[in-house]
Structure 1
Amino acid sequence: MTMISVTTLEGDASFEAYCAEPEGAPRGAIIVIQEIFGVNQGIRRKCDRLAADGWLALAPDLFWRLQPGIQLDPDVPEEFQTALGWMGKFNQDAGIRDIEATIRLAREKSGGKVGVVGYCLGGRLAYMTAARTDVDASVGYYGVGLNGLLGEKHGIANPLLLHIPEEDHFVDKTAQAAIHEGLDDHPRVTIYDYPGEDHGFATEMGKRRSPESADLADERTAEFFAGNLA
């Protein structure tokens, strides 16, 4: 495991990020934004897969202000509940600043464009990153509460791709309809729906994974990044 240090935007502290480097010069960089379970094995595997495809991949430890190094297993009920507790304490605005600090480091290290891809909480943060930073492209998988963030859509200046499972038990049909109504006509936003799929369907491992839809979503993400980070 390779961990690197990221300096905060304020320059008064630093936090760690998992780093996966490609063989040869990177095509650009992609930041993987964690779920509520921390930078666990699944998130690190996402980075490793991106590096194998030629990207510099970084996964910042966004819970570091609460407790550095949190790694939880969503398939263990007690750990799932612990993760929900951490999410309740997490300062999302500070998290976006930490993502922005990671974007700056990724630009320096890769010499190219930078994208973000996030899952669950990370899907929400990917949307917020698209609206609040100069990231070159963003992807959100099953982001929670996006219907409450539609007031920020005017800030989305670069391409954003959203993957929405239609049976997401954290995002009901009313919320999904609001997301479509608010974003379908946005010139920078693309939305894909996944009938019959639930939250977490594209995780790398565990009970939540739905392989066919996960592979389809990941193929769409790969094409999106290839087209927008070239």
Structure 2
Amino acid sequence: MTDVKITSKDGSGSFAGYLAKPKSTPAPGIVVIQEIFGVNKVMQDICDWLAGEGYLACCPDLFWRLEPGVQLTDQTEEEWQQAFGYMQRFDVDKGVEDLQATADFLRNQNTCTGKVGSIGYCLGGKLAFMMATRTDADANVSYYGVGLDALLGEAGSIKNPLLLHIASEDEFFPAEGREKVQTELADHPQVTMHVYEGNNHAFAREGGKHYDPEAAETANSRTLAFLKSNLS
């Protein structure tokens, strides 16, 4: 597990990424996309988990243009307010560019097979959807992505498999928007959706307020099966 430097596509600088390597390489790559709390222990643990499952996993610092090295938790109101502040100022289009740069970085490693997917949570769940519509990632997974209804106009650009984990009681994604996503993507040949009834936003965030171990295990098992099917 190490920190790496990734060059931005617009030439404005470089940003850090937390990289976790599997025991056996070459391996498929995974771009792990942060929540609004930065590349904190939760994200690092996810990279380590994926490395343990045989993937080369990298979580890039997407807030580097605002403030490099953000690592907040979800345990205090002050940190929540800081996190919302970063999210409000975050340029999602530049974020997707940085994610593509991370995917390119992984593909160029001799420890990577050349296949690269993404997994995103919360804000990262939205960005994983955008990875599916705007980048060449081979497979993408979105956990409780927010605001996906506003991105449905891009759905025609989804050429590679996309897995959506949707919380039925997501406090940050109103029911009307969630239902629109489910209705409009129901017949999309590249999209698989699972709704987790009775679960709130971030049900898979270990240690979080709405963490549901059973739902998280189900979602993670589905994710691993999806990745194996599409990145092997």
Given the two structures, how large is their TM-score scaled by the length of structure 2?
Answer: 0.97
Tell me how many residue pairs correspond in the alignment: 230
Partner of 2:197: 195
Q: In structure 2, what is the Cα distance between the partners aligned to 1:72 and 1:104?
A: 27
Q: What secondary structure is seen at the aligned counterpart in 1 of 2:217?
A: helix
- Per-residue CA deviation, residues 97-125 of structure 1 (Å, 9 max, x unaligned), is 00000000111111320000000000000
Q: Is the 8 A contact 1:26 1:54 kept in 2?
A: no
Aligned to 1:11: 11
* Unmatched tracts of structure 2, length 5 or more: none
The answer to whether the Cα contact below 8 Å between 1:202 and 1:210 also exists between their aligned partners in 2 is yes
Tell me how far apart the structure 1 counterparts of residues 108 and 210 of structure 2 sit (CA, whole Å).
36
1:159 aligned partner, one-letter code: P
Distance 2:225 2:177 in 1: 27
Over the matched positions of the two proteins, sequence identity in percent amounts to 50
**Contact between 1:46 and 1:204, CA under 8 Å: does it hold in 2?**
no
Contact 1:147 1:178 in 2 (8 A): yes
| Equivalent-residue separation in structure 2 for 1:26 and 1:78 (angstroms) | 42
Whole-Å Cα distance in 1 between the matches of residues 117 and 83 of structure 2? 26
What is the aligned partner in structure 1 of residue 122 from structure 2?
Answer: 120
Separation in structure 2 between the aligned mates of residue 176 and residue 119 of structure 1, nearest angstrom = 16
The match for 2:207 is 205
In structure 1, stretches of 5+ residues that fail to align are none
CA drift of 1:76 comes to 1.1
Cα deviation, 1:155-179, whole Å, max 9, x if unaligned, reads 1000000000000011121111100
Structure 1 stretches of at least 4 aligned residues deviating more than 3 Å after TM superposition: none
1:33 has 2:33 as partner: yes
Q: Identify the residue that residue 82 of structure 1 maps to in structure 2.
A: 82
- Tell me the TM-score normalized by structure 1: 0.98
Q: From the superposition, tell whether residues 51 and 26 of structure 1 become closer, same or farther in structure 2 (CA, over 3 Å).
A: farther
